[in-house]
Each structure stands twice: as structure tokens, then as C-alpha cells.
A = this chain, B = another copy of it.
Amino acid sequence: MTAYDDLMEFTRDTQALGQVAGRLGWDQETMMPRGAAPQRAEEMAAMESVLHARRIDSRVGDWLAAIDDKTLDAVGQANMRHIRRSYERTSKVPAALATRIAKLTSAAQGIWAEARAADDFKAFAPTLAEVIMLKREEGQALAAGGDVYDAMLADYEPGTTGADLEAMFGAMRPVLSELRATVRAAEGPAKLSGSFDEGAQMKLTRQLAKAFGYDMARGRVDKAVHPFSSGSGLDVRITTRTNESDPFNCFYSTIHEVGHAAYEQNIDSAYLLTPLGSGVSMGVHESQSRIYENQIGRSRAFTGWLFGQMKDAFGDFGIKDEDAFYGTVNRVGDGYIRTEADELQYNLHVLLRFDLERALMTGDLQVSDLEAAWNDRFEADFGYAVDKPSNGVLQDVHWSVGLFGYFPTYSLGNVYAGCLNEAMRKALPDLDANLAQGDTSAATAWLGENVQTHGGLYEPREVIERAAGQAPSEAPLLAYLKEKFRGIYGL
């Protein structure tokens, strides 16, 4: 056994234990009896402590020192890149600081939830200030003199900097804001109304999951409060939710999570339980969920097929034809909440958070000014005022649990999806004819071969560049959105 073999064997066990911890998380949201929560917290903490001990295990340092990456093949070198990055990250952060962050963010999530329920930002502000202070300290340790926010981004999107995103998002904001205003001034498509049996929603949602290539033999669909995808390799489970008056929430949550899950399921099986065996970054992950959900799932062609399926499942539900249905699916509405936003407005929500959290990290924005900054920016971009903190600065859990640098990956994913969609459409000129039959196989196969199969083999931007044939840019997404929404709104 070489040092590399030893390290990979150790890493394989760590990956397997990580999958176990992930499955506990799935169980907690779907199956766990409610009274089990205190015990589960101890079980999770014990698993976390096992995983942490493996991350700082001194043998890993010895193996890393003994391995000359240049003697390895491309897969070996990619494995080493992931393992070294993770080990160095852990080594840079003092253990005491990591413990303080873990304890604080665990408590902060509860404080945030209470403040949101009470619509009282001031009740959360001191805690948020503490979180920011500790996360900045962590960022400084990670950056080692470099940019603190870039160091945070690297946790979610290695290879992308704050400056990259500033340029990209800066180009997007005026276009999206103007398109949004134009669309909102026009007469929109009808809103869906009526009541849709939740059992029938779940039945159709399972059909949709299969239609998008989700392998049920290596996964399952359950209900949960928040839709999510969980696990890698041979056991990738998704959840969705139902609401009698809003079947689109169920269907598009499912398709979105199938995008995440299919990515995990379609990674080269040779990478199972190695660092290459899961999605390479948050942005690339989101590119898959978004292209499944939007560019494919909300396309004119696919919604035409879905219209028929919904009529079969629910009878006449008051939408007259496929064109009207396409409009209804893509209707641009009012709203304050990111997770409920339509395809056009979604990125405006993210851009706002990116600018604010970056300013919080640099110190250009203080927590005491955050609520006003949020409200001003929201009104500027959306044209109406935030009515209460739970519809504004308190709506997302992310900052309370210390996730800074995470929000922008949502929009980066949309940008990547735009690039991939352009290339995919070129490669598959007959795609719409297939989608109109509910057949997504050409699209999912193209994404499987060009993106998903690689897992962690390439760096995130390289994955997109190889698949799209050019460097990532916001231009395809913007062009796609303009064409789509001008068409729907007859502009």
C-alpha cells in the first residue's frame, strides 16, 4: 500500500460516515418522531465529532506530506486537490474558534427563528453581529492576508472571487430590474386558481421525477416541510411538499430537487465514496437544479405536455390551452420571498443579499444599518416596500447559521444554467419536439455526459466551460430571460 492508497482508504471511510450523517439529516426531516429531537442532537453531535476527528487526524498530514501529486493520474490529482484543500482549510482555523462558531450558530438559528416569528429584527441583531464577528475572524484565518469574502466563497465555489461576482451581478442587475418593470407594467397571464388533490399531486410528482430521469431504485420521494435532496452515489433521496391550492410548488420543487439528485446519481460510479463522488460546487449543483426546473421544466414545449398531464389528473382547471398554461406557469407576481420568486425576479433577490453580506464582511455595513439597507435596496429593485422583517431581512436562515458566501451561488447556478442551456440547445436542435412529448431524455443525457458524470474531477468553472464551449458569462441567461418573458408578456 502506498501513502496514496492508505489516504484513499481512510477518505473512503470518511465519505461513508459523511453519507451516514447525511442520512440522519434526511431522517430528521421526514421520518423521525418529534419527541426524538433531543436524542438526535446528541447523535448528530457524536457523528460530527467523529468526522471532525478524521478531518484533523495527524495521519492525513503525514500522508499528504508523503504524496507527490505529480506522480498520480488525473483522477488521483483531482482527489488530492480536494483532500489537500479540505485539510488545509481545517488546519488554518483554530480549533477554539471553530468550536465557538459551532456553538454560536447552533444557538443563533433558534434566536433567528424566534425573531422572525415576532417580526423583530432588533431581537436578532446582537446575535447576528456576533456571528459576523466570528465568521470574519474565521475568514481572516482562511484568507491569510487575502480577501476575507473570497476565502468564504471558496467554501462553496472554489475558483470564483467576489470581484468576479461583482462584475457579473453588476451587469445583470439593471437588465433584470428593467425587464421586471416592463413585464409588470404589461397585462399578465392568468393566475392558477382552484383546489388540487394532494394525493394526485404526489402521484404526478413521482411521474415527473421519473420523466426527468430520477432513478427510483437508488432514491425515493417523500414529503417534508422544505424540499431538499440528500445523499450521493447509490442513495440519493429527495423531498417535496404539497399545497392544495398550489400544485406548481409541488411539481417544480420536485423537478428542482431531481436536478440536484440526478447530478449525484449520474456521477461516474468509479468515483463512489471518493472526493470526486459528489457535486463539485454549490454553483454547479444549482445549475443542474435550475436548468431542470426552468430552462427545461418551464419551457413552452414541456409545459405543453404537463398541461395534458394536469388535465388528466385534475380535470378541467380553468386554463384554456397550452399557451395560456405556459403563461400561468411563468407568471411574474408580487412577492417578498426569495424562495417563492419566479425565474425573472429570483436573481434580484440574490444580488441584494450578495451586496449586503459582502458589505457586512468588509465592515462597510453595520448590523445596526442592515434592516434599512435591505429595505431601501428592495424598494429600488422591486418597486414596492417591504412590509415586515419576516418578508425582508429576517426571511432566510443562512446568515444565522454562518453561511456567508453561499447566497451568490444560487445566481451563479442560474448563470451557469444559462450557458449550458445555450450549448445544449445548439447540440440538440430537436429538443423541443421531445419535450412536447414529456421526453426529457435527450436533455438529461446531454447534461449527464457533459456535466454530471465528471463529479469533482474538474474545478467548477472548468466543468461549465468544457460543457458550454466557452467561459461562463451572464449573457446567455439574460438573453434567454428577455426572449422568454417578452414573449409571454407580448412585448
Contact = CB atoms under 8 A, between A and B. Distances in A.
Given A35-B234, A39-B235, 19 more contacts: A12-B42, A13-B49, A16-B46, A17-B43, A17-B46, A17-B47, A17-B50, A20-B43, A23-B24, A23-B27, A27-B27, A31-B31, A32-B235, A33-B216, A34-B217, A36-B234, A36-B235, A38-B234, A39-B234
A37 B217 CA distance: 10
A17 B12 CA distance: 19
A11 B234 CA distance: 32
A220 B233 CA distance: 28
A191 interface: no
B235 A33 contact: yes
A39 B17 contact: no
A119 interface: no
A293 interface: no
A418 interface: no
B20 A233 contact: no
A40 B40 CA distance: 20
Contacts of A218: 33, 35-36
Interface string A231-251: 001110100000000000000
24 contacts: A13-B46, A16-B42, A17-B43, A17-B47, A17-B50, A19-B39, A20-B20, A20-B46, A20-B47, A23-B27, A27-B27, A31-B31, A31-B220, A32-B235, A33-B216, A33-B234, A35-B215, A35-B217, A35-B218, A35-B234, A38-B234, A39-B273, A42-B273, A50-B50
Interface in A263-291: 272-273
Top 4 A-B pairs ranked by shortest CB distance?
A: A36-B235, A16-B46, A35-B217, A39-B234
Contacts of A19: 39, 43
Given A16-B46, A23-B27, A34-B217, A272 B233 contact: no
A39 B217 CA distance: 13
A251 B261 CA distance: 38
Contacts of A20: 20, 24, 43, 46-47
A45 interface: yes
Interface of A: 12-13, 16-17, 19-20, 23-24, 27, 31-40, 42-43, 45-47, 49-50, 215-220, 233-235, 237, 272-273
Contacts of A43: 16-17, 19-20, 23
Contacts of A40: 234-235
Contacts of A33: 216-220, 234-235, 237
A489 B33 CA distance: 44
Chain multiplicity (copies)? 2
Contacts of A233: 39
Nearest to A272: B39
Contacts of A216: 33
Contact of A45 (B16, B31, B49, B217): B16
A101 B1 CA distance: 24
Contacts of A50: 17, 50
A15 to B, nearest CB: 8
A233 B38 CA distance: 10
Contacts of A37: 234
A282 B39 CA distance: 24
Contacts of A31: 31, 220
A21 to B, nearest CB: 8
A220 B35 CA distance: 11
A215 B35 CA distance: 9
Nearest to A34: B217
A43 B231 CA distance: 12
A237 B235 CA distance: 22
A37 B219 CA distance: 12
A273 B42 CA distance: 9
Contacts of A45: 16
Nearest to A22: B43
Contacts of A32: 235
A36 B220 CA distance: 11
Contacts of A36: 218, 234-235
Contacts of A38: 234
Nearest to A39: B234
Nearest to A13: B46
Nearest to A277: B39
Contacts of A237: 33
